[in-house]
Amino acid sequence: MSYNHKPAILGGLIVAAAWGAHRAEVTPPTQSGPALETLVGRYFHEASEAERGKLLAQIREAVTGSWEVVRDAVQTMSLWDDVPGPDRVVVQTASAGEVGLIYRGFNDPAQLERRGLVLCMSAAPGLGEAGLTIQRAMMILGPTLYEHSFVVALDKPVAHTFHQHPAAGDDLRKIMRELRRRFRLDTDRVFLFGYGEGGAGTWNVAMFHPQFSAGAVIVASHPRLPYPEQLVPLLLPNLGGLPVLSVFEDAEEPTAGPDVLPAAIYNRAIVQFGEQHGLSLRGLETSFRPMETAQQADDLPSSAAIERDVLPVAQHRRPPPGGDVSRWFRYPSQGDLGWVRATKWHAEPWVGEQVSIAPGAGTDRDEFITAFFKENLFRLAGRIEGQIITLETKGIAEVEVVFYEGMVDLTRPITVTINGRKRHEAIIKPSIETLLEEAYADWEFQRVAVARLVFTIAAQP
């Protein structure tokens, strides 16, 4: 395996693998730069956990315990693998078997900086569907997004429904890691795109995994949820500050089909809810036109018609770790909120696919159904105010707090309170082990995790 890369052919376009063109040397206090570079390169390309443990000890010795030197190394070295050509990467997943990542690159071999990513959620399995999804994305989004980003479509739906394989969220994380491992991405500029049923999948990913992306553009779709009147108000706030643009067809158009009005009503309702609750959710009701260059007839909004609305999404960056996070979720793999993660549970997650709720006579239907979902879902919320971290949980037996560089002042004591009980009040020391393990797990080099705390949580009455 080589750490220097040749130009790769991406979707028929020759693109320089710029991430391997230049590699900075890092000089630790007691060793030469290349020695540390070799150790770090071996660490990130070693599959064996035991062997990585041996390399960790050598790295720690080489830099005399300086985590800052290791941070500089992982942020400046070229650690990306060669891109297998011509335009497809395959990932083995537990929930969907082999998933192909179909991608398009740039005809700009001199480009050296990191690029964004538009991740397209396909509506159905198949290379044809993935290719059509990419074509839709490029026609709808216009150059505002796709000229500055790789465009990738999954050739199978993954984590795209409310009822899903429990491992689907972990598989989505694996897919994101593979993309980060293959392409020199700006991980703060990853955007989601979906059309129709693929748009429904995009809603699901945005609501349950908002920490992956900087924004989403969803066309001709809405969240596919059972009992939406009760679940939408519960789950839509999971978006937090994630910008979402929902583009849907104007129901007043003469050519609008019978399904257009219900979809428009649904979208108007969720947009109104977003406005009332301070979400970065915007709706655009516009006319659609035939997609004449596609292999099949379809309707699309004009990129010129939505360019002004796409721009705020395209210009957004994923906020730094910290601040307020809150999520209701169903499966364990959805319990990663970025800097705080649920890792163990007091009860098995609800995995039944069918939902049939029958309130008794004289019972308030809305309250009864909402209470059912609150009883069967998990909840995790976190807030950081200065040096004080406050967590609230429901149904969770263990949480892990990950401290990223700049999230808090690591030279001063940090207080952690969980469900009203103080659990920690002390200085936290950065760890080279945590830095390397977290970077390896997600192939994340822009955001450096330097420490972790793990807390067990007693079952609440």
Q: Was domain 88-314 assigned CATH 3.40.50.300? A: no
pTM: 0.88
Q: Which two tokens stand for residue 214?
A: 């900087």
User: Could you list the pLDDT tens digit for every one of the 461 residues in the chain?
Assistant: 333 333 333 333 222 233 333 333 444 444 445 589 999 999 999 999 999 999 999 999 999 989 999 999 999 888 877 665 667 889 999 999 999 999 876 544 444 678 899 999 999 999 999 999 998 998 888 887 877 888 999 999 999 999 999 999 999 999 999 999 888 889 999 999 999 999 999 999 999 999 999 999 999 999 999 999 999 999 999 999 999 999 998 877 666 667 788 889 999 999 999 999 999 999 999 888 765 544 444 577 878 888 899 999 999 999 999 989 999 999 999 999 999 999 999 998 888 777 788 778 888 999 999 999 999 999 999 999 999 999 999 999 999 999 999 999 999 999 999 999 999 999 999 999 999 999 999 999 999 999 999 999 999 87
The region, left, alpha or beta by phi > 0 then psi within -120 to 50, assigned to residue 354 is beta
58 within 8 A of 37, measured Cβ to Cβ: no
CB under 8 Å to 111, separation ≥6 — which residues?
15, 16, 18
Cis bond upstream, residue 86 (ω within 30):
yes
How many helices and strands in the chain, by DSSP H and E?
12, 20
State the average pLDDT for the chain. 86
* DSSP, residue by residue, 38-54: HHHHHHHT---HHHHHH
Residue that is written with structure tokens 């059972």 in the block: 226
Domain ranges of the chain: 24-76, 88-314, 325-456
Distance between first and last Cα of the chain: 54
**Pairing status of strand 13-15 against strand 8-10:** antiparallel
DSSP annotation of 89 reads E
**Of the candidates 258, 146, 137, which has an alpha carbon nearest to the alpha carbon of residue 199?**
137
> pLDDT tens digits for 351-372?
877 778 877 888 899 999 999 9
**By three-state DSSP, how is residue 72 classified?**
helix
**Of the candidates 6, 8, 308, 321, which has an alpha carbon nearest to the alpha carbon of residue 150?**
8
Which amino acid makes up residue 11? G
Q: How many residues does the chain have?
A: 461
How far is residue 203's CA from residue 197's CA, in Å, rounded to a whole number? 10
